[in-house]
């Protein structure tokens, strides 16, 4: 199995509620896709904020798993998101994560979120994850 397949399988097993698709993992980065349905929309015909937050969190988690392996349990400590544009109600949301720091105790990454087919991001997130000490 490729690293991407391993991470995707791990995410499916450990986070069965999410239907985010892991599309790429490696080199301190990850790409994910969230298929959008009625249950992700909010009034005004757009994707709800918490859905975007969840996609960003999964993208960072996938990138971190690609770096530190599938065993460790990273914990989000801080998460900041800026909403930039109204996402399309009919396109998938794509998340592209790039890790800016992979330390022994803390990992920091950023994610750009897009409505598929649009070049301008709909949101930008930054997250910090704490890596538990090896026992």
User: Cβ closer to a second copy: 5 or 100?
Assistant: 100
Q: What DSSP letter does each residue of 53-84 carry, written as one string? A: HHHHHHHHHHHHHHHH-SSS--EEEEEEEEE-
User: Cβ closer to a second copy: 50 or 69?
Assistant: 50
Segment near a second copy (CB under 8 A), from 1-9, 34-42, 63-71, 87-95? 34-42
Answer yes or no whether residue 119 interacts with a second copy by CB under 8 A: no
Tell me how far, at minimum, the Cβ of 24 lies from a second copy, in Å: 21
- Phi and psi torsions of 10, nearest 5°: -60, -45
Cβ atoms 121, 87 nearer than 8 A: no
Q: What sign does the CA torsion over 20, 98, 128, 6 have?
A: positive
Which member of 15, 72, 91, 116 binds a second copy (CB under 8 A)? 15
Binding residues for a second copy, rule CB under 8 A, total: 37
Give me the numbers of helices (H) and strands (E) for the chain, helices first please.
Answer: 2, 8
Answer yes or no whether residue 121 interacts with a second copy by CB under 8 A: yes
Pairing relation of β-strands 75-83 and 93-102?
A: unpaired
Answer yes or no whether residue 19 interacts with a second copy by CB under 8 A: no
Q: Under 8 Å CB-to-CB from 135, ≥6 apart: which residues? A: none
Answer yes or no whether residue 27 interacts with a second copy by CB under 8 A: no
Name the site residues for a second copy (rule: CB under 8 A): 14-15, 17, 39-40, 42-44, 48-50, 53-54, 57, 73, 75-85, 100-101, 105-106, 108, 110, 121, 124, 126, 128, 130
């Amino acid at each position: 199995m490729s690293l991407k397949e391993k991470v995707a399988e791990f995410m499916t097993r450990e986070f069965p509620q999410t239907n985010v698709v892991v599309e790429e993992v490696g080199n301190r980065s990850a790409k994910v896709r969230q298929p959008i349905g009625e249950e992700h929309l909010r009034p005004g015909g757009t994707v709800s904020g918490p859905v975007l937050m969840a996609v960003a969190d999964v993208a960072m988690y996938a990138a971190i798993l690609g770096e530190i392996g599938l065993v460790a349990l990273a914990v989000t400590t801080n998460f900041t998101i800026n909403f930039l544009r109204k996402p399309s109600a009919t396109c998938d949301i794509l998340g592209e994560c790039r890790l800016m720091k992979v330390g022994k105790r803390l990992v920091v990454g950023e994610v750009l979120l897009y409505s598929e087919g649009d070049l301008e991001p709909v949101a930008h997130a930054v997250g910090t994850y704490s890596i538990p000490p090896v026992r």
